[in-house]
Structure 1
Amino acid sequence: MRGMDLAEVVEATEANLMFELTKVAEPVRERMGISGRRFGRGVALSVRNDPSEFWSRAQGFGFDKPVTGELISEVLAFFRSEGTEVVNVQLAPEVLPDDWAGICRSHGLTEGPTVVKLARDAGPAEQPPTTLRIGPIKPADRAAWAAVQIEAFGFADDDGRIAEMLATINDLPEVTGYAAWDGDKLVATAALYVDGKVGQFVSAATLPEYRGRGAQSALLARRVEDAFAAGCRWIAADTGRPGDGEQNPSLNNLLRAGFKVLYDRPVWVWRQ
């Protein structure tokens, strides 16, 4: 598959996953203020009551119709109507128009952190050694699964609303949550979203005191194997671009697991 075609496939898969949040349990949607709208193949997800400023986003645009100032105006109008204060606009570099810098200036978009988008073929995977137990989570594990991510990512979540939303994601039929256990203690998390022939890896987090023990490498291998068994042809993942002279262990794990970098994708931040 050509690079542009693969970019379209993986961007659509990630956008579809984010839109799945509009299907979580109604009490969670109301508490988090979740709503969404599709603009062709692009997705706008508003999570109005998100204290972490992470979840509201616009992505998947530019493949079925060009990204223009008029399109960005329409998308941002949706977020204004929802009362969303912060939005993360994430567009593949291939779809950015020549006048993107001007569109950003006129709409108040500022460049934030950079995401590295990666992909690999699905296929059999060799399980790396680890002393931790690896496998899918059960319903009774969901609260602990969410709590690990809250701690590992440093989300601001004093009243537990993000943890509740994360736990509920496991109710979505296309999502499978995984974990690593040290005895009975859940210490690392991951998830697989299957969208037709594409699997998307998300929710990779490890408690600080358990990093370096092979949890994420083992969780990657298990999900590669399961995505292949589920009929996926490709697998996509993303992580943060490390700064100059810095290392991102998540990026290193993905590269060792056979993922290839497709492109860097800056996050463009809009504030109400």
Structure 2
Amino acid sequence: MDSCSSDYPCPTKEDAIEAKAFIDLHNAARGQLADEERFECISMNGGCTISLPSAPAIGLNRILGLTDSEDLDEAYNWMRQRLGKRFLQVNTDAASDEVRRWIQSKGLITYGPGWAKLRRTTDAVSLPSAAAVKTRKVRPDEAQVFGAMMCAGFGFPESLTVLWAAIVGRDGWSCFYALDGDTPVGTGAMFASGSFAWLGGGTTVPSFRNRGAQKALIQARLQEGADRGVSTFVVETEVPSAEKTNISNANLAKMGFVHIYNRSNFLL
């Protein structure tokens, strides 16, 4: 069901582009992953619910962007039939009383620190200057290597290499390497639709961390997006806290991203 209206409001544009990215990731990889992986996704009123039980990541096992209790009921019932840990992501500060009551009625409890949503516009400030660490686009014949690097960086099983390999060269996606000489040492991806783009897939091999790879990859994607007519970029990190350093959040802030809201993760 995809029919946003006054009775069924759409998610924010920042959540909608993120949902589009994960729906397209599913479309790209669903025919290539083994059936036993049970990779499933449904689109609902600008949001989505997605399940990949073997992926140890909230992003691939969650309900995202739903703002109505009827949609939440449908997504909740669907997710309860899936395996593994499953989550609901909601900006509780902006949620309606109806949605808050729905969460309470299900007895859902928060899990972890939540996610911070950050945004940057192309014209907010000038694009960053060229980074010291070099980057380049991933070539189609490197898709498997890119996928393997992403899996290693996120702690995914090797069986999910094809998940990330599937987006290399796909319409809407731009995939990048950070380089040490000619050797890839970091990855980054961008999904663009219309004037919005979502950034994800940022990993760096342990021996090359804290040397500017991620900032270089952010810069490369900002430039790529600007060249493609993107006006707004969005990304998520774990909510920062005084007790835990969040390098990703700090790097994004240095590159002109600003915090706009937090989403809580509720364990289903």
- After TM superposition, the score normalised by the length of structure 1 is 0.84
Aligned-pair distance for 1:99? 5.6
1:140-171 CA distances to partner (integer Å, 9 max, x unpaired)?
3222322333233233x1xx222221111225
- Seen in structure 2, the aligned counterparts of structure 1 residues 188 and 246 have a Cα distance that, compared at 3 Å, is same
Q: Displacement, 1:252?
A: 0.5
Q: Which of 38, 49, 56 matches 2:43?
A: 38
Q: Offset at 1:9? A: 0.9
- Structure 1: state its 5+ residue gaps: none
1:57 maps to 62
SS at match of 1:86: coil
Partner Cα distance (1:30, 1:249) in 2 = 36
Residues 192 and 200 of structure 1 are in contact (CA less than 8 Å); yes or no, is this contact kept in structure 2? yes
Asked if 2 retains the 8 angstrom alpha-carbon contact of 1:93 and 1:263, the reply is: no
Q: CA offset at residue 205 of structure 1?
A: 0.8
Supply the distance in 1 between the matched residues of 2:104 and 2:93 (Cα, whole angstroms).
Answer: 20
Displacement after TM superposition at 1:73 (Å): 2.1
Query: Structure 1 residues 269, 147: closer, same or farther in 2, change over 3 A?
Result: same
* CA gap 1:10/1:194 in 2 versus in 1, 3 angstroms: same
- 1:50-89 equivalences under 5 Å are 50-54=54-58, 55-62=60-67, 67-68=68-69, 70-81=70-81, 83-89=82-88
Contact kept, 8 Å, 2:131 with 2:219, in 1: the verdict is: no
Does residue 200 of structure 1 match 2:198?
A: yes
Which residue does the alignment assign to 1:148? 149
Q: CA deviation at 1:17?
A: 0.8
Aligned to 1:242, which of 227, 240, 244? 240
> TM-score when scaled to structure 2?
0.85
Q: What residue number does 2:95 align with?
A: 96
Q: Indicate whether 1:18 and 2:17 are aligned.
A: no
More divergent stretch after superposition (95-104 vs 177-186): 95-104
Contact 1:12/1:41, CA 8 A, preserved across alignment? yes
Paired residue type of 2:117: K
Q: Taking structure 1 as reference, are residues 51 and 178 closer, same or farther at Cα in structure 2, changes over 3 Å only?
A: closer
1:170 to 158, 168, 172: 168
Matches within 5 A, 1:190-269: 190-269=188-267
Question: Residues 14-48 of structure 1: CA distance to partner in whole angstroms, max 9, x if unpaired?
Answer: 0111111231241326353222222222211222x
Compared with structure 1, are the counterparts of its residues 107 and 169 closer, same or farther at alpha carbon in structure 2 (3 Å cutoff)? farther
List alignment gaps of at least 5 residues for structure 2: 1-8
- Match for 1:44: what amino acid? T
**What is the Cα deviation at residue 245 of structure 1?**
2.8
Distance change >3 Å, CA 90–CA 171, structure 1 → 2: farther
Cα distance in 2, alignment partners of residues 61 and 169 from structure 1:
25
Whether the 8 Å contact between 1:134 and 1:219 is mirrored in structure 2 is: yes
Count of matched residue positions in the alignment of Structure 1 and Structure 2: 254
Give the percent of matched residue pairs that are identical in Structure 1 and Structure 2: 22
Distance 2:41 2:154 in 1: 24
Question: Amino acid of the residue matched to residue 23 of structure 2?
Answer: F
2:197 counterpart SS class: strand
